[in-house]
A and B are shown apart, each in its own frame.
Chain A
């Protein structure tokens, strides 16, 4: 289970499935955004958890001034809320990373986008309809940590799928190309 929770590249995942999966369909790969893309919100979360230290110091100054006062119970509630809020923020950011997945099966590719708490989008394209696969690595950070975007052109109703911030995009492009070629050969034979 730990591998499922933290990995951004899973080959032949066990105990994984998705809505609409066919009986004869096997999940070959699951990709997520590179783990390094989580660093910004992890740093933000650390800042959020440390903020009450400064807030409580400020409140002590306000209370010692003599003109305004806030009771200890109120300060306690504020601190409790702040930690609950920070935990909720961290959990929501983790869910955003965990459920934004790109699934490759023996039949199709599925792109699950979960961008906000109330927004979900699921796109898919059969492997045989994939026409072009291009990847790009842009900028210092992406080059340093080897992650980038993969654009997939299809002949399906969904004309283009984009896999964002994928680790080792060259290898993923190669995997997809091989799968598409194998699928076309099986249809051609």
Chain B
């Protein structure tokens, strides 16, 4: 890799903190989406009843749980 003419040779910046905070904000809003999706699956299962209803609700709940888990991991990673 050639010399970087824009930055001093001793310049360094830890992007992790910025990215961590950004990811926590994004994950927070994504969890809201996951909650809405779970709620919507419940309502749709009520509107249109099928034998696949429990499976779809299960996937929605697992998705919500994993979203919360990733948010928790992001917070722990920041700390």
Contacts and interface: CB of A to CB of B under 8 A. Distances in A.
A68 B59 CA distance: 38
B47 A88 contact: no
Given A16-B50, A84-B70, A74 B41 contact: no
**Prevailing SS type, chain B contact patch:** helix
Give the interface size class of chain A: 35 or more
Interface string A82-94: 0011011001100
Contacts of A144: none
A73 B17 CA distance: 11
Contacts of B59: 91
Contacts of B74: 77, 81
Given A67-B11, A99-B48, A87 B56 contact: no
Contacts of A5: 52, 55
Interface of A: 1, 4-5, 13-19, 62, 65-71, 73-74, 76-78, 80-81, 84-85, 87-88, 91-92, 95, 98-99, 101, 103, 112, 114, 117-118, 120, 122
Interface of B: 1, 4, 7, 11-16, 19-20, 23, 26-27, 30, 33-34, 36-37, 40-41, 43-44, 46-52, 55-56, 59-60, 63, 66-67, 70, 73-74, 77
